[in-house]
Structure 1
Amino acid sequence: MHSFSPESLLAVRFHNARPGLELVTIIDAALPVALITADVLAQDSKNLPLMDEFVLRLVDHRVTSQHGISGMLGLPERMVDQTLAELFRSDDLRWAPPVPGGEPGNPRLRLTDKGRVTADTAAAVEPVRVNQAVVYDQMLWKVAPYNRDTTVRRGQAEEDGLIMLPVARSGPVEDGDITAADITALLRENGKTDREVLQVKSISQAPSRRVLPVKILVYADEERTEIQLGVVVDGELSHAHELALIGHGGARTLGITVAPPSERPSLNATWRKPGFRCRKSPSTARSKPPSSSAPRTPPRPRRRHWSLRRTRSGPSVSSSTRRSSKKPSPTPGAACCSSPRGSRTRSSPPRSSAS
């Protein structure tokens, strides 16, 4: 089974991420982070809305009128009416008869048995102080959902030749840099939705300097005049880190340059090799007209090849004469013109066609 390296998988995923540019190379880099332990006041979430809880607890403390609840909470009566309707529907509240001597026609609110259990359960859930471990991204200067186990020592990263990404500012992380809302959002992002951070009491930073290994994707055009960088954190392109890197100077700050591409050999060039001759194509030769200033040389006359035939010595005889020289066959019934046997008739020799 074939195994693919992380760089090859990233090249397949993000080679078309920048239209008009090509992925030139992938570089190992290090993102500075800080390991933080925050002392926070947190509370586990309840299955009861906050408004419902306050109304039930006020009714339990004998605030039994709608007007009184609205005044205690400082909310409009219309909002209190909606909450009371929900609690009556869930069988947590009921009407009680008015107090003797009180105003007639003014019923009082009272908890049902189910409502008393609901109020007691909600009152039992109280905020607690816990230590929450987080990873702080020093390039973005914010809490990040990174795994602490994937970080390495800065010294080890420098020995391995990783490029260090810049930080937003120097110095340690302070207490005001981390808020309760930041940690709550981090817990939600990590899938822990049953806890809410109410307050950050204090933070402590680990003394060792840590970094998170990341990848830098280098993109360039064909002429290598435009260079763009992409930062891959936890296997995904991070637009926030890319913008932060541009703010620090981009590729120039990191010392990343792209060499011009090697010249490709021309197809019309002649390459001299032993025993090999490359001739230009006729179409290429015709594409370059001669200069008007250069003298035109007359074309060479073509050399004619004469084929030599071996002929007989003596007069030449035409084909018609050769055919007529054949002895005709005697025709039947014709008189014989031959001389008697023993006598010879001397014929005159034929004229020669040659002079």
Structure 2
Amino acid sequence: MNTSTAPAPSGTVAGDEPRRPLLRRLAETPEVGVVAACVVVFVSLALDKSTFASAVNLQGMGFDLAQYGLIAIGESLVILTGGIDLSVGALLGTSVILMSWFNVRAGLPPVLAILVTLAIAGTVGLVHGLAVTRLKMPPFVVTLVTYTVAQGVTLAITSGTSITGIGGTFSDLGQTYVAQVPLPLIIFAVVAVAAWFFLERTYAGRQVYAVGGNPEAARLAGIRGDRRVVSMYVTSSLLSAFAGILVLGRMGVGSASGVGVGWELSAIAAAVIGGVSLTGGQGRILGIVAGTVLLELINNGLTTLQINSNYTNIVLGCVLGLAITADRLRARSVARRG
């Protein structure tokens, strides 16, 4: 029997064919670019300012990363279904006030105050999901209503003042270190791993991608798309309230001043920068986490470089614009190849 193999094509060497598709896949994977950007930004800032890579600054970044990261994951889960949640920031701020009010004014123990607030947030997410799936209301409109109402509730409860005297349980969650690592950062890592496992390793997670990618095909395949959409809105609202626990523990007071304002833009930016398609059905947790890290590096870097904070939103807007443009170009490229 002839066991000889055909010679390699001209201009190539043995092993090139397996390598080239791998390199092409890496080049087309959004996570590679954002992870590389994180490394470049971190190294550049660390070389320019020695204080940037100090333990104190890194720990502070860990606290911020956990707060923004939790709502970014929740926002991304909704976007994967083809929706959007504009209420994540406002709902976080309202959760901070509700927990403070339940604990201080209503006299509830911290744990019970947290559970009641989580129940309220979950109900809000349920309303979002049902309005989108049953009433066919646009997600933008539904969550914009909640955004407005949540801000009004926050101001109505506080009347512009802060709620002081909250229980120590909140500070235990928001300010504790484990082996010099902020506990909120560990909590964020656990949530990220759980979200990754759900999306990548479970049948229900694959259904989320299917519903966001092609709702009609998912319906014909027997997937209960409405159930998946509702569950993602509920999860997003719960993660917003959970992030509020960490924020309250870190601040030590229930304040409506600037808490959660504009954070939904950071969440959306982190998702899109990390490769989550605004049309749904595409994106992974690794990219979402990397996108959140990149935004935190930029925000903290601007502060470390003593650049006027008024420019932060300008930079964020530019980064978000570039990410959305890249998302559209990537979608057009996939459509041409398809």
TM-score above 0.5, yes or no: no
Greater C-alpha Rg: 1
Q: TM-score range by the shorter chain?
A: under 0.3
The structure in which a higher percent of residues are strand is 1
| TM-score normalized by the length of structure 1 | 0.16
| TM-score normalized by the length of structure 2 | 0.17
Q: Which structure ranks higher in relative contact order (CA pairs < 8 Å, sequence separation ≥ 6)?
A: 2
